Structure formats: C-alpha cells, structure tokens
Homo-oligomer: A and B are copies of this chain.
C-alpha cells in the first residue's frame, strides 16, 4: 500500500523523530481548520512548536508531495492524508490494565476519544474492582485477557500496574497478541522486537525539567 498521493515508493520506515513532528503538524492543521482557514504554509505549520519551515517540508517530503510551490498546502487535504499516514483515520480499540489512580484518570481522559482511541476493556487483579463498571466498561480479571483481546481485536494496551508487576503483565499481554504498549510503570520493559513500547515516565520528565530550571536558577536568589 502506497500512502503517498504521488511518487515515493515509501520503503524505509520513517524516523521516530519525523513521526513525532508530523503528529504536531496534524494538531496545528486541525487548529487552523477550526479557525476556518483553507490553506497554510510550512512556516505556519511549524511555528507554534519552534520548528523551522525547511524542517516541516523535509518531514512531509518523507511521505510524499503534498504542497504546491507558491501556494502552500491545502489544509483539509493534508489533514486527511496525514491521518491516514499516522493511522488515525480509523478507530483504535485499547485495553487498560491496572485500575489505580492513573488508570481511572486515563479512563476519563478526553484526548483519547477525540483521536479515535477507545478503551474497550479494563483488567485488574483486585477482586473488589472486578465486576465494577467504569465509563460503561466492566472490569475483568487478568485471566480474561486473551478472550477480551480476541473479542475486541485489540493491538494496543495502556499499562498502569505497579512497577513490580509491570514486566509480568507485559509478558502476559504480549503472549495474547498485544503489539503496542504505552507503559506508565517506571520500569524499563523487555519486549520482543515485533512489540513496540513507549514509556511515559512522569518523574523522569519532571527530573529533566528540574535540571533545566536548576541551570537557569544557579546563583539566582529566589524572587523572580
């Protein structure tokens, strides 16, 4: 399947950094669309994120030729093509494993639904939680994982269990066919090469933020 409109055999997988930025461009395009605009430029697409116009063009060029010299990009068209490239032109069922504080917050998170990600099953080991219904979905025991994944044809999982259970649960998920894991547990997961993991580690992010602020704060007495 050739995802580009013109040219480009599109053989090599896109670099991770490119995909991340294309997601941002899509956000900006949708924002411009809501503002009622119909066309845009590489400058306008990258500007809110501090990305240079040449970078935007290079990133898009990876997937095909979508603009017109002297004119720019047609917003509606580019939204459709980028959604298709990123795979968000269809629904993605998700499972949520581990219904702690974070799990419950994710369950109500608006950002997922608006991007066609839907939590279709919840799993936990706590007998008090099993059988309860949250946001219209009933919590099932971990043993029901295989059946649940098959029923919903799910490839993606949100892993929100405690650190010491994370690898064990991940192994289980992979064994029953999960291909992508958004890992909220603060431990590195060992997974086979066909499985993708993205780690969401808030304390690492906060640590990096503290480092940056520390540098600019050095020798400066607190006052602002």
Residues of A within 8 A of B (CB): 1, 13-14, 16, 19-20, 23-24, 27, 48-49, 85-88, 92, 94, 101-102, 104-106, 108-109, 111-112, 114-115, 117, 153, 155-156, 176-177, 179-182, 186, 188, 190, 194, 196, 198, 200-219, 222-224
- Nearest B residue to A174 via CB reads B224
- Counting every copy of the chain, the complex holds 2
A181 to B105, CA, bound (A): 20
Query: Chain B residue with minimal CB distance to A117?
Result: B206
**What CA separation (Å) do A216 and B182 show in the bound complex?**
16
Selected contact of A200 from candidates B27, B156, B205, CB within 8 Å = B205
Residues of B within 8 A of A114 (CB): 203
Indicate if the CB atoms of A203 and B115 lie closer than 8 Å: yes
Contact A212 B111 (CB under 8 A): no
- Beyond A1-B219, A19-B211, A155-B217, 10 additional pairs, beta carbon < 8 A: A20-B204, A24-B188, A48-B188, A86-B207, A94-B206, A105-B105, A111-B202, A115-B203, A179-B213, A179-B217
Partner of A205, one of B153, B182, B204: B182
